[in-house]
Amino acid sequence: MNTSEDKSYQILVVDDETCLRTAIKKLLNRAGHEVQVVDSAEAALTLLEKNCFDLIITDYDMPQMKGNEFAAIIKQRCPSQPVIMATGNATDFHPSGKPSGGVDWILGKPFSVAELREAIGWTMARTAVASTTPDAPAFLPETPGVPMPNMPWPTAPGESRHTRVRR
């Protein structure tokens, strides 16, 4: 039985860079999550017609459709769908990783495993609060009173949970 401390999620990763898609999938699989990956927003939209995911992690800078455009379409179809967008230009959207437009969290690239874990934890905690409290705030501030789910994250020998993802 899963508790908030060991929750496993079904996650869709959308990124046109094969190496990054593969790395994120491996990290999330090792943490106990079920992960599917696609290389474009268009492929993700097709997959979403027949599948549901607890969380979508998308790149911003993809050909044909940018990540924020993809997130806006997702939020039109399902406003409660959690979306994290990764970008090398995070400060162009909103400082401090807080929501912007159709995304729930902006993750700056390059990011560490700890930063990915934080983004997933806060996004899913916000979703859980919003589903039980209709008038919950759009963003949970980083305060000691708001618990973040504790999800296990793998580390290689000699690495800590805060080691940057190597490319």
The DSSP 8-state label assigned to residue 103 in this structure reads B
Radius of gyration of the chain (CA): 15
Output the pTM of the full model: 0.74
Provide the H-helix boundaries in the chain.
18-30, 41-48, 67-77, 113-132
Say what the pLDDT of residue 132 is.
62
* Alpha-carbon gap, residue 152 to 8, rounded angstroms: 10
Which of 3-12, 46-55, 132-141 ranks highest by mean pLDDT? 46-55
- Report which of 101, 98, 24 is spatially closest to residue 59, judged by C-alpha positions: 24
Residues paired with 33 in a beta bridge: none
pLDDT, averaged across the chain:
77
Give the bridge partners for 112, in sequence order: 164
pLDDT digits (tens, 9 = 90+) for 15-62: 999 999 999 999 999 999 999 999 999 999 999 999 999 999 999 999
Answer yes or no: CATH 3.60.10.10 is held by domain 10-132.
no
Cβ contacts of residue 136 below 8 Å, gap of 6+? 126, 129, 130
Q: What pLDDT does residue 147 have?
A: 35
Sketch the domain layout of the chain as residue ranges.
10-132
Q: Are strands 34-38 and 55-59 parallel, antiparallel or unpaired?
A: unpaired
CA 153 remoteness from chain centre: 15
